[in-house]
């Protein structure tokens, strides 16, 4: 491993790419500390301490903790991701976009340009909504968040947040083009792992004060390593469908006649289903929390962490969006047509419709396993922190709460600093980046990180 790290910096081109990536990420983190003008920072901090865990906390996660401080990068890269997902969904229903996607590099450039325009539009809408919402927001002690409300503050906030997101988008594209790894993913990665030092500091302070015993810390570290190893194992998992190609003669040359495989990943959808599910579940809870009515407050409570309704809807939404997203990004009929076009076939399966049905059957089974895996990873950290609040279940809630173990109803008292979504992103991005670095090393005849096998990313 140490030899591979030395090799990374001994290659001039790879060294320049790594240094450029680190410098761009440093610029992003510095910009995330510049506050938006006109904000009462102390009142805003009190408000976010109370609203933590809802939709606002979800946005703060992807903004690298810049949203809770309302800095110039408060929107982060989420508007760009939202625009990209919307365009990806529109490819299925809009023939023009489907035609562009099949045009190769030129079509992809046009889609990227549309994504940028969509990002600006989303930023303008979100920026104005945030400005109006901040003007009406007060801290729990009654302090206003905005010191001088009005159209001046609204226009300045919209301009600042939009320009900040465009600059973050530019940083991501520059990293992808001139650095190493996927720039957008690395920006999210940097925003998540920035909270790790404070988490380690908190554990050390609890250990010194006697709140956490050495045995608890050892168990926590072992558990996090086990969860990380499990995620890496599943993310690398594939179902390889054997594919054979018939021989064909073109001129004096013979093509084909070889056997290969069609890889289908266990987690084909990646982290996107969890992002969809989190947005759908936390948004109504956040809206209900702002409404001062007993019914709305009851709904907000039922959709809180650890509540049975929240867990049921969250798991159901993850499973639904896993199937929904994979049905959009992966078309078995197109795969079957491409195999038939190049004289490929799956042994024992007739080309054409039968091949598409077979691939769809295998993909459906893998999708079910991937959906259960995503739901388990997403719900496990929340269970460790908050437990399952079974007392809210009608009729039998009080009985279950009195008879079930306290670790089940109140959690295990473990502060898990990476939630399910952030953990998947951190591990996935790390695997993708290491895969690109390893490819650069192998291409230049250097020893890779793993001497026995290649690191596979999430592609």
Q: Is the pLDDT of residue 450 over 60?
A: no
Top mean pLDDT of 72-76, 159-163, 267-271, 400-404 is at 159-163
What tokens does 313 get? 């809807």
What residue spans in the chain does CATH classification 1.10.3370.10 cover?
A: 1-195, 237-416
May I ask the CATH class of domain 237-416?
Answer: mainly alpha
- Answer for the pair 260, 240: CB distance below 8 angstroms, yes or no: no
The per-residue pLDDT for range 82-130, each reduced to its tens digit, is 888 888 878 877 888 888 877 778 888 888 899 999 999 999 988 888 8
Give the pLDDT of residue 250: 63
The mean-pLDDT minimum among 174-183, 355-364, 370-379, 450-459 falls in: 450-459
| Residue 27 pLDDT grade (very low, low, confident, very high; cuts 50, 70, 90) | very high
Range with the poorest average pLDDT among 41-55, 217-231, 335-349, 420-434? 41-55
Task: Select, from the ranges 48-62, 217-231, 380-394, the one with the highest average predicted confidence (pLDDT).
Answer: 217-231
Q: Average of pLDDT values for 328-336?
A: 86
pLDDT at site 362:
92
Residue 55 pLDDT exceeds 70: no
Percent of the chain with pLDDT over 70: 83
pLDDT of residue 3: 67
* Segment among 48-57, 146-155, 229-238, 435-444 with least mean pLDDT: 48-57
**Which residue matches tokens 């903790």?**
65
Position 459 scores a pLDDT of 47
Class of domain 1-195: mainly alpha
CB contact at 8 A, 55 and 305:
no
Alpha-carbon distance 283 to 58, whole Å?
A: 9
Report the pLDDT averaged over residues 331-347: 85
Average pLDDT, the chain: 80
* Model confidence at 318: pLDDT above 80: yes
Q: Using the predicted structure, report yes or no on whether residue 215 has a pLDDT greater than 60.
A: yes
The pLDDT of residue 23? 93
pLDDT tops 90 at residue 206: no
């Amino acid at each position: 491993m140490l030899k591979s790290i030395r090799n990374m910096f001994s290659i001039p081109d790879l060294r320049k790419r790594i240094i450029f990536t680190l410098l761009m990420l440093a610029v992003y983190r510095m910009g995330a500390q510049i506050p938006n003008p006109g904000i009462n920072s102390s009142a805003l901090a009190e408000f976010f301490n109370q609203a933590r865990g809802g939709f606002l906390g979800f946005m703060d996660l992807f903004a690298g903790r810049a949203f809770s401080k309302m800095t110039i990068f408060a929107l982060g890269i989420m508007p760009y991701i939202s625009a990209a997902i919307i365009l990806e969904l529109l490819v299925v229903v809009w023939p023009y976009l489907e035609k562009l996607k099949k045009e190769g590099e030129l079509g992809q450039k046009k889609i990227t340009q549309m994504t940028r325009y969509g990002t600006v539009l989303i930023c303008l809408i979100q920026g104005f909504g945030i400005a109006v919402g901040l003007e009406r927001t007060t801290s729990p002690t009654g302090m206003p968040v905005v010191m001088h409300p009005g159209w001046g503050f609204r226009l300045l906030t919209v301009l600042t947040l939009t320009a900040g997101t465009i600059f973050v988008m530019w940083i991501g594209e520059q990293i992808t083009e001139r650095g190493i790894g996927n720039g957008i993913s690395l920006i999210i990665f940097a925003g998540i792992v920035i909270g790790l030092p404070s988490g380690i500091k908190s554990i050390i302070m609890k250990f010194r004060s006697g709140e956490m015993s050495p045995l608890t810390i050892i168990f926590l570290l072992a558990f996090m390593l086990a969860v990380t190893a499990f995620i890496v194992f599943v993310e690398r998992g594939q179902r390889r469908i054997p594919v054979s190609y018939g021989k064909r003669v073109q001129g004096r040359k013979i093509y084909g006649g070889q056997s290969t495989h069609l890889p289908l990943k266990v987690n084909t959808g990646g982290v996107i289903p969890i992002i969809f599910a989190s947005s759908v579940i936390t948004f109504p809870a956040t809206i209900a929390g702002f409404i001062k009515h007993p019914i709305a407050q009851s709904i907000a409570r039922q959709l809180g962490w650890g509540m049975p309704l929240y867990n049921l809807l969250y798991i159901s939404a993850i499973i639904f969006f896993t199937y929904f997203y994979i049905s959009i990004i992966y078309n078995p009929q197109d795969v079957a047509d491409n195999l038939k076009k190049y004289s490929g076939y799956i042994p024992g399966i007739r080309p054409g419709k039968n091949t598409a049905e077979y691939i769809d059957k295998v993909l459906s089974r893998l999708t079910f396993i991937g959906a259960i895996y995503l739901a388990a990873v997403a719900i496990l950290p929340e269970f460790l922190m908050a437990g399952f609040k079974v007392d809210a279940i009608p009729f039998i809630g009080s009985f279950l709460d009195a008879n079930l173990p306290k670790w089940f109803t109140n959690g295990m008292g473990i502060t898990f600093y990476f939630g399910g979504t952030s953990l998947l992103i951190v591990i996935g991005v790390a695997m993708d980046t290491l895969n690109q670095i390893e490819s650069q090393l192998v291409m230049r005849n250097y020893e890779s990180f793993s001497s026995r096998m290649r690191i596979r990313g999430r592609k």
